[in-house]
Amino acid sequence: MKIVNSGRLYVVATPIGNLGDLSPRARETLAGVALIAAEDTRHSGAMLKSLGISTPMVSLHDHNEAERTPDLVARIAGGISVAVISDAGTPAISDPGFDLVRAAAAAGVEVVSIPGPCAAVAAISIGGLPTDRFCFEGFLPARGSARRARLEALAAEPRTLVFYESPHRVAETLEDCAAAFGGERRAAVAREITKLHETTYRGSLAELLDVARADADFARGEMVLVVGGAPPATAGDAGADGHGGELDRVLGALMAELPLKQAASLAARIVPAVRDNEAYKRALHLKQN
C-alpha cells in the first residue's frame, strides 16, 4: 500500500518519550515524504537518524512559522509531499503546526493526520478523573495575575480540565488552582509520561500541593495537570450564598488580593443580584471558617 502521496501535508505525531511509540505508519511517512518541517531539526534529526531516516528537514517553530508557511504551502501545492512534526507528541497541540495546517487547508491542499502520542490524552487516560467530557487548556499564562484570572474564569467549568505546565511553575500553579477551585478538588499530575521515571500523583489539589513542596522529584521533567470539573450545584451549595457557589468563588479570589471590605464591595458588583451587605456578611463567614 502506498503510504505517501505527492502534494499532501502530513501531520505526524512523534513519541513523547519512548521511541517505541512511533507507529509504523508514521515511520513510513517520514521516510517517504520529500521534506520534513520540524520544530527543532537537531532534536528531530537525532530521532530520525536512530530510525535510519535521512529525509531533508527544515525548521518550523514558534518564531518562524508565519514567515515559512507560505513557501511550504506553495511547495506542497507544486506537488511535493511534506510532513510536519514537533519535538514531541502531536503538532499544533500547544506546539507549532497550526498556522501551516490552516494555510494549507485554505489553499486547497489535502492535510492528512498520522495520529499517535499526545501528552494531554495520555495523562487524562491515567489520571483517574472523568474522561467522558474534558477541556484542554494548554499552557496557563506564566504571570501569576494572568494565571489566576484564567483559573477563576474556569472555576465553574464542569468538564475535567487538562493543562500543560513547566516544572518550575507547577507548585505555584497548584496553589493558584487550590485558591480558585478549592483545595478539596480532585486532581492528578502526570510526570515524564512514557519515560523511565514516569510518575502519576493523584489526590486533592491541597494534597498535591503538599507533595510538590515536599518532594524534590515532583518538579522534574515534563508534566500534565488534570483537574476534576466543578461539581454540579446542589441545594446545599445554593443555600450557602444563594447563588450556587458563585459568590464564594468570586470572594475567594478577591479576598486573596484585597482587604475584606473592598473584596466584598467588588464581589457585589460582579455577582448578579448580590447586595453589598450580603457579600460582606458572606466574606466574614468565609474568613472565619
Task: Tell which wins on pLDDT, 144 or 287.
Answer: 144
What's the domain range around 94? 8-117
Q: Are residues 133 and 76 in the same domain?
A: no
Q: Are residues 104 and 187 in the same domain?
A: no
Q: Are residues 58 and 130 in the same domain?
A: no
Q: Are residues 106 and 133 in the same domain?
A: no
The tens digit of pLDDT for each residue in 253-277 reads 899 889 988 998 998 888 877 888 7
- Beta-bridged to residue 223, according to DSSP, are 165, 191
Angle between helix axes 170-181 and 144-153 (nearest 10 degrees) is 40
**Boundary (domain end) residue, out of 117, 146, 167:** 117
Q: Where are the alpha helices (DSSP H) in 90-140?
A: 98-106, 119-126
- CA atoms within 13 A of residue 119's CA, in its CB half-sphere: 33
The tens digit of pLDDT for each residue in 7-39 reads 999 999 999 999 999 999 999 999 999 999 999
DSSP 128-171: -S--SSEEEEEEPPSSHHHHHHHHHHTTT--SEEEEEE-GGGHH
Q: Are residues 106 and 137 in the same domain?
A: no
Nearest Cα neighbor of 192 from 211, 173, 217 is: 217
The tens digit of pLDDT for each residue in 110-136 reads 999 999 999 999 999 999 999 999 999
**Boundary (domain end) residue, out of 176, 206, 227:** 227
Q: Are residues 91 and 162 in the same domain?
A: no
DSSP 244-276: TTHHHHHHHHHHTTS-HHHHHHHHHHHSTT--H
Q: Are residues 113 and 82 in the same domain?
A: yes
Overall number of domains in the chain: 3
Q: Are residues 242 and 215 in the same domain?
A: no
pTM: 0.79
Q: What is the CATH number of the domain that holds 198?
A: 3.30.950.10
Q: 85 in a domain, yes or no? A: yes
Q: Are residues 12 and 113 in the same domain?
A: yes
Q: What is the CATH number of the domain that holds 111?
A: 3.40.1010.10
Q: 3 in a domain, yes or no? A: no
**Boundary (domain end) residue, out of 117, 140, 173:** 117
Q: 23 in a domain, yes or no? A: yes
The tens digit of pLDDT for each residue in 51-76 reads 999 999 999 999 999 999 999 999 99
136-175 in b/e form (b: 16+ CB < 10 A) is bbeebeeeeeebbeebbebbebeebbbbbbeeebbbbbbb
Distances from the Cα of 76 to the Cαs of 53, 141, 251, in angstroms? 21, 35, 54
- Beta-bridged to residue 111, according to DSSP, are 9
Q: 275 in a domain, yes or no? A: yes
- For residue 239, name the pLDDT band (cuts at 50, 70, 90): very low
Q: 2 in a domain, yes or no? A: no
Mean pLDDT of the chain: 92
Q: 165 in a domain, yes or no? A: yes
Q: From CA 281, how far away is CA 276, in angstroms rounded?
A: 9
Q: 74 in a domain, yes or no? A: yes
